[in-house]
Amino acid sequence: MAHDNIPGSGKLQELEKVALEAAQVGAEILQKYAKAGFRIKHKNPLNLVTDADLDSERAIVEVIRATYPTHQILAEEEGSHSSQNSSYKWIIDPLDGTTNFAHGFPAYNVSIGLEYEGKCILGVVIDPTRDEVFVAGGGSGATLNRKPIHVSAVPKLDQALLVTGFGYDIRENPENNLDEFCRFTLCAQGVRRTGSAALDMCYVACGRFDGFWELKLNPWDVAAGLVIVQEAGGKVTTYQDEPFSIYGRKMVASNGFIHGEILEVLQRGGLK
């Protein structure tokens, strides 16, 4: 029997198959460009886009369109691809971690999330540099390369490895996450910045990180990761402990145990 607002398991399997195929096609394109080289353009001084972002997105959209021509699509580079009013919306980051990719730093991925009637129900993230495939959907748990994953059991912030990121407006906008970065660096076991929000969320889901906070993320950065963290037993909220929407701008994802301590540090203000 289907849950409220969630398609039945047969339909979900079919959707997951298409999501995986599309992400795989995108990931192969990224690796093709990583080997052969690519052009880089600047959206602004810090925000890059490469041939790989654009080609990956085109190919992913093509795969989804071939099976679901009426579904809505929201993709980072081309925006909204459909005016149709389907209950389904695919949310695509064809290359999450473009700065890393452009520098040859192997921390990037393809991220595909799916909304049904406004709720994220499926997430697929493929990291082609490590051959890692993260999947979650339909409440049946999250997996990494088909094996179940779970968030960590780290109970306290001072034992936690955290991760964060910075927006592309960091040079001009004082709301730049640097104070928060200082505060957490002084009270967590460690803080990392990988440059790939979707991987940050997947790493919380499989216990490599214990918590992740960031502001100014876009829906395509977090749609897949949200489902993966939640189905791995983690917690995702706003900085105010409200339910997180992928269209919101401030997010905390954690193993649940350290969530309250993270929120307290975010709300504290100042450098320490």
Which residues bind to ligand IPD, rule: CB under 6 A?
Answer: 93, 96-99, 165-167, 195-197, 214, 217, 221
* 93 part of the interface to Ca ion, by CB under 5 A: yes
Count of positions on this chain that bind Ca ion (CB under 5 A) = 5
Contact 195, 96 (CB under 8 A): no
CB of 56 to Ca ion, least distance (A): 9
Nearest to 88 by CA among 117, 113, 64: 117
In eight-state DSSP terms, residue 3 is P
Given ligand IPD, Ca ion, none, residue 166, with its beta carbon under 5 to 8 Å by kind, binds ligand IPD
217 is in the binding site of which of ligand IPD, Ca ion, none (Cβ under 5 to 8 A by kind)?
ligand IPD
Question: Considering only residues 57, 221, 231, 261, which one is a binding residue for Ca ion as defined by CB under 5 A?
Answer: 221
CB-CB contact of 122 with 138 (8 Å): yes
Helix axis angle for 219-231 and 197-205, nearest 10°, is 0
The whole-angstrom separation of Cα 53 and Cα 42 is: 12
Based on the shown chain and the rule CB under 5 A, indicate whether residue 57 belongs to the binding site for Ca ion. no
Smaller CB distance to ligand IPD: residue 41 or 272? Answer: 41
Q: Which residues contact 202 (CB under 8 A, 6 or more apart)?
A: 109, 125, 127, 132, 134, 144, 225, 228, 229
Residue 114 or residue 197: which is nearer to ligand IPD going by CB? 197
Interface with Ca ion by CB under 5 A: which range of 119-127, 161-169, 173-181, 213-221?
Answer: 213-221
| Distance in angstroms (rounded) separating the CA atoms of residues 128 and 145 | 12
Work out how close the CB of 31 gets to ligand IPD at its nearest, in angstroms, rounded to a whole number: 16
Q: Which positions touch Ca ion (CB under 5 A)?
A: 76, 93, 95-96, 221
